[in-house]
Structure 1
Amino acid sequence: MELWHGSTMIVRHPDLSFCRESNDYGRAFYMTEHLELAREWACRCEEIDGVANRYELDLDGLTVLDLDAGTRSVLEWLSVLLTHRVVNLGSPVALEAAEWIRENYPVDLSGYDVICGYRADDSYFSFVRQFVSNSLSVEQLSWAMRLGGLGRQVALRTPRALDSLEYVGFEPAPARSFYPRRKRRDLEARKAFSEGPGFDPEGIYVLDLVSGRVGKDDERLR
């Protein structure tokens, strides 16, 4: 499996001790299947160039959790995100909804070497805040997570997973080219979202779940 990691430096030997706990899926080494996305992620400003590190991952013998699988609810991904990331929720409704999601859709990551799923960029946090504030339905949140073309991220969480990863080389990521692309992708996601959903009269909103009007095992949530 070919994977890419965007960084300001060449990373031949990834080390979990240098990875932050407060990332989407906790402490892990995060990669993408797409070269161009890795180049964009490598450029956090216009002044510093980056590189896209290329790897080959052998999945044989590794345990993999796919949070974007068709049998899973977007609320499970959201529970993982709200457990690990600091999200400014603001309102009492959003805080109560976030706690309810964490309690009712817990995901135990401890038995997995690799986690696959959505990547939460700036625009995605905006969508999450709107959902937990009861402004988006579950269906609209699932749709919004695919805006911007961020693709999936692959997170390696264990030393065993890193032992199955082979560094192959790198591609340059000039900031003058890829930082504007990164910003444009985020803006286009926000624009597509603003032109898309309005009120969803048939949708399931977070207060439907918190109040018990809709059961957490409702088939429409998957």
Structure 2
Amino acid sequence: MKLYHGSNVKVENINLSMSRPAKDFGRAFYLSAEIEQAKEMAQFKVETFGGDVVVNVFEFDTSVLEELKVLHFDRYSEEWAKFVLANRNSSETLHDYDVVFGPIANDKIGRQIFNLQAGYIDFPTFIKRIQYPEGITFQWAFCTERAVKHLHSL
């Protein structure tokens, strides 16, 4: 399967220590099966950090998922939202999964976390507000070196 990573630089070697913490599924190398999603992320990174729009393409043999510890969310759910909330609130790795697959949270999640923690909204409202407004879009998070070694740059 082809997976895409949107960036402002060409990724020659995946270095998990360069990944930012406090993301949806924790510190990881994030990819999408949708090239348009990767282009949007690349554009965001260019607007934030400068550089050029780069969509890095990787091949991933999904048969190796049987060898890896995988967490799979197939839809927005309370379990997904709690996992995202915990990861967004921590600079530490909170799990030992090699790969996490699931929906992308809305870009405005920071505001919704504040609203939830301040008591302005309840958890069901939080779940609704952190869903991507254009419809569900999925992401792959490669969280360990064990998983990353199965990504092959094209």
Same fold (TM over 0.5): yes
Q: Secondary structure at the match of 2:83?
A: helix
Identity between Structure 1 and Structure 2 (%): 31
Match of 2:38 in 1: 38
Contact 1:127 1:141 in 2 (8 A): no
Q: How far did 1:22 drift?
A: 1.9
Alignment partners' CA distance in 2, 1:146 and 1:40: 13
Question: TM-score if structure 2 supplies the norm length?
Answer: 0.76
Larger Rg: 1
Contact 1:64 1:115 in 2 (8 A): yes
Q: How far did 1:125 drift?
A: 4.0
State yes or no: 1:68 paired with 2:74. Answer: yes
Q: How far did 1:117 drift?
A: 1.4
Match of 2:26 in 1: 26
Match of 1:162 in 2: 148
Which residue of 95, 104, 115 corresponds with 1:119?
Answer: 104
1:150–1:37 distance in 2 versus 1, CA, 3 Å: farther
Structure 1 letter corresponding to 2:73: L
Alignment partners' CA distance in 2, 1:85 and 1:137: 15
Contact 1:128 1:141 in 2 (8 A): no
Q: How far did 1:131 drift?
A: 5.5
Q: How far did 1:48 drift?
A: 4.0
Q: Secondary structure at the match of 1:82?
A: helix
Contact 1:74 1:142 in 2 (8 A): no
Alignment partners' CA distance in 2, 1:129 and 1:67: 24
1:134-149 alignment, distance < 5 Å:
135=121, 138=124, 141-142=127-128, 145-149=131-135
Q: What 5-or-longer segments of structure 2 have no aligned partner?
A: none
Which residue of 44, 49, 55 corresponds with 2:58?
Answer: 55
Question: TM-score if structure 1 supplies the norm length?
Answer: 0.55
Alignment partners' CA distance in 1, 2:56 and 2:41: 11
Q: How far did 1:62 drift?
A: 2.3
Alignment partners' CA distance in 1, 2:74 and 2:39: 23
Contact 1:131 1:138 in 2 (8 A): no
Alignment partners' CA distance in 2, 1:144 and 1:18: 26
Q: How far did 1:55 drift?
A: 0.7
Q: Which of the two has greater helix per residue?
A: 1
1:1-222 alignment, distance < 5 Å:
1-44=1-44, 45=47, 48-59=51-62, 60=64, 61-69=67-75, 74-86=77-89, 109-110=95-96, 112-130=97-115, 133=119, 135=121, 138=124, 141-142=127-128, 145-149=131-135, 151-168=137-154
Alignment partners' CA distance in 2, 1:14 and 1:68: 26
Q: Alpha-carbon deviations, 1:135-158, whole Å to 9, x = none? A: 466278348614224611100011
Contact 1:42 1:52 in 2 (8 A): yes
1:77–1:129 distance in 2 versus 1, CA, 3 Å: farther
**RMSD of the TM alignment (CA)?**
2.8
Q: Secondary structure at the match of 2:134?
A: helix
